[in-house]
Structure 1
């Protein structure tokens, strides 16, 4: 037994049946709704869902359910109410932003659902070196996703007589250089954050093993190809000998 929406038309009902058959479900009956109450009643089903709205009128008489009429709207649900409320209040937010920035109009030309993919596409175009005139002068300077500083006595981050330079490259690798301004001595360290990751030696070893396995696969393939050629030649020779023997028998009988 499969329950379907009352406002479904014949095409939608047939699609529900087809999906059930494809899934291997044996459908005994498709119904809109069920209620197990005694006595004759007229019922109005008012269903306001998250994405749809439908109304059904049915009668129940001694266990017989008869749907008299149905109607619905597939674009009138809770989500549509949320959208209208958002559209109403977002205008107030835009006006507040405009007033805060001295009358500047907010930029509404970017789709928030597409902006990340759009930015990644531009950055990929730049890194690939195939960017045109529109992207050649674009440079992305991202912010480091952590707070950097110098810890002094008491755990307080404050100024000191040492100059510390934090440099994060395009791959996210952190280079830290510390210089004592009094003595001029300096130290430098590179933090690759490779904990739980593969080291360069492990990567090179995996590449070498992959090349060795590829060579073994090539040799095995050559052996299999040679064997297949040999078996094909033997099979052809046997067929030729059988055909020749049959011809000799036919000649002798004639």
Structure 2
């Protein structure tokens, strides 16, 4: 295998375990894989953290972002050793654009009506606000198409996203200078699929495919996602 490292970046309401079937499959194929824990505290802070992880890796990196992770790799992907970006049901932000602005141009998904806002302490500053998905709505809205036994576990173990992340603007859009690839989840109830289509089209991505998949496409159709990532990796090496 080449010395390329594939870095899988999870999104909101999830953690690194959301990539488990894809992580296993890529390792079995002999790829170098890193799956960091995204703090989910702010777009700028999360992107800086992921960039710091990437810059410690020797050799080229292919960044793969799911959902909010797409916004993170849009910024973190400016790191010099990033050679490509893969978006899975993801947000491809424009430079100067926030998540709220991108989403605001399209009808709400089912997610909007099923969010919970919870204050959390922030020493030395005003309390922050955690955003999570209603546990009872999680299986249908976020984890549709997934084994119910698994989706129930994911629902009670979700990693909230701080509300600040929705309003911060991306200072850079790495897809402008790095080759990008995207999967649209056509049966997505978390992100309006048109948001995904718009971002990928605007970014003139090298390759875009649509799958009849829910938001957690990497759990619903792991083999399709693995193949897409492997093909992207072969193109950028």
TM (normalized to structure 2)?
A: 0.16
TM (normalized to structure 1)?
A: 0.15
Q: Give 1 or 2 for the bigger CA radius of gyration.
A: 1
